[in-house]
Amino acid sequence: MGSRKPTLRVVGKPLRKVDATAKVMGTTKFADDVVLPRMLFAKLLRSPHPHARIVAIDTAPAAALPGVKAVLTGKDLPIPFGILPVSQDEHALALDKVRFVGDPVAAVAATSEEIATQALDLIRVEYEPLRPFPDALDAVEHAEPQIHDYADSGNIHKLIDLEFGEVDAGFAEADVVREDVFFFEGNTHLPMEQHAAVADWSPGPHGKVTLWSSTQTPHYVHRALAKVLELGPAQIRVIACPNGGGFGGKSDPFSHEIVAAKLAMATGRPVKITLTREEVFYCHRGRHPTLMWVKTGVKKDGAITGMHFKSLLDGGGYGSYGVASTYYTGALQTVTYHVPRYKFQGARAFTNKPPCGPKRIRPRSVSNIWCPPTRSPPTGCASAPWASGRASRKWFAARDGSRSSGSSPWGRASGSPARRTSRARASPSTGTRCLTRACSSSATAGAASPCSAAPPRSVKARIRFSR
């Protein structure tokens, strides 16, 4: 007697999304839609300097403006916070130093957004400008003044040096050894919904803060609030409202969430803060601009014998997810093909720009993509993986139990890797540029290299991107 197929309630059924009706009818309540009785409106004063010490702040004229109920500065929120335990380097309001244009310095709560904005113009801040660092290479080459004093070295936030197997031996076995340098320019998320938060404070012996926020990580926000406000976890409730887009850009605890909660505690009234589109760019946490150097050894049959990969990330002014992002640029290089010997050297530099972080749309990072050449391969390598199509990709894919793991990011896309990566380089959405390409073939010793270019600008010590 044949076995009967089980009847499934969910799998294979055209079920309606649980939030679909509310969204198509416009009844979904996002954070900015939350309205509470007696609610105040908050605005943030932001730094006009990329790097400067705060000498003095005068908030008295703003506090005297009719309609203003509270003014905060960094002294009111001195405890640092951050998404990772290893980089608790942010303050809700800058305490003694600003690290990028847009770093929040003061906050105002008033009876209307217009009054709060007027009050910002009345706050006087005296700055002592410091030398800014516009990009990662500049930050590596100049250790002073330090953007943060906890960096691994000078303005290098994190240095990583890992090796699995004898990579030099792998290059010695190779028929072709390639060197490539790429630069990814970075980008940001740009969700339709701006960041917003509403905080309410219930006073009493066991006072409680309730925060409605357009966050992707309510538990991390909860932890940051407890730390900075010095409240017990049971005294804080964080409600993650539906997100009008996030993609990783709402994955950090942010200054405006903590400021809204502190202002609610200071005034005894609910406080809302909604960022402008310009302020969303200051929050940023987008993909890191990344300089990448890769040296790859390949046999005539297409097998990779070894890889040496270096990456330099431009992290912006704060840590955010940066340590994890730096490891990712190296850890994800070996997921496409079997790489028996692998060396990774990575660095993340602090710069005076909005901090970088995670972005969750594929490709997650251009660092994940190894771009083979689009021109014909060197003599003797006609069957290399960039020329041999789908069959070689399957044959030389990462094996279970090897140092390489995972599946190809190319998935089921058609065409050869060379054609697909050619499209990726040309696409403005990736922002990747090949800076130099240099090949050498041990099978054709003494022959002219099929492609050559001057080496890129070199960097110090372990992150030197020179040949």
| Mean pLDDT value across residues 59-72 | 98
pTM for the model:
0.82
Q: Would you say residue 203 has pLDDT above 90?
A: yes
Least confident of 195-199, 393-397, 437-441, 445-449: 445-449
* CB-based contact 77:64 (threshold 8 Å): no
Distances (CA, A) of 370 to 72, 278, 333, 408, 417: 48, 34, 7, 11, 10
Q: Does any domain span residue 239?
A: no
Q: Does any domain span residue 71?
A: no
Beta-strand runs (E) in 130-221: 156-164, 176-184, 196-202, 208-213
* CB-based contact 164:405 (threshold 8 Å): no
What backbone phi and psi angles, to 5 degrees, belong to 431? 70, 20
Q: Give 403-458 as a DSSP string.
A: S--S--TTTT--S-HHHHHHHHHH-TTT-EEEEEEEEEEGGGTTSPPSS--PPPPP
Q: Does any domain span residue 174?
A: yes
Q: Would you say residue 269 has pLDDT above 70?
A: yes
pLDDT category of residue 403 using cuts at 50, 70 and 90:
low
Q: Does any domain span residue 231?
A: no
Number of domains in the chain: 1
Q: Does any domain span residue 226?
A: no
Q: Does any domain span residue 5?
A: no
Q: Which residues pair with 110 in a beta bridge?
A: 41, 68
> How large is the angle between the packed helices 218-229 and 255-267, nearest 10 degrees?
50
At 179, which CATH number?
A: 3.30.365.10
Q: Does any domain span residue 443?
A: yes
Q: Does any domain span residue 271?
A: no
Tokens of 426: 């040309």
pLDDT tens string 90-143: 999 999 999 999 999 999 999 999 999 999 999 999 999 999 999 999 999 999
How buried is residue 414: exposed, middle or buried, by Cβ count under 10 Å (0-12/13-18/19+)? exposed
Question: Which residues in 303-330 are b (16+ Cβ under 10 Å) and which e?
Answer: bbbbbbbbbbbbbbbbbbbbbbbbbbbb
Beta-strand runs (E) in 59-195: 68-73, 97-98, 104-110, 124-129, 156-164, 176-184
pLDDT category of residue 285 using cuts at 50, 70 and 90:
very high
Domain around 345: 137-189+285-463
Tokens of 268: 């005894």
At residue 394, the pLDDT reads 52
CA pair distance 109, 67, nearest whole angstrom: 9
At residue 221, the pLDDT reads 98
pLDDT tens string 298-338: 999 999 999 999 999 999 999 999 999 999 999 988 988 89
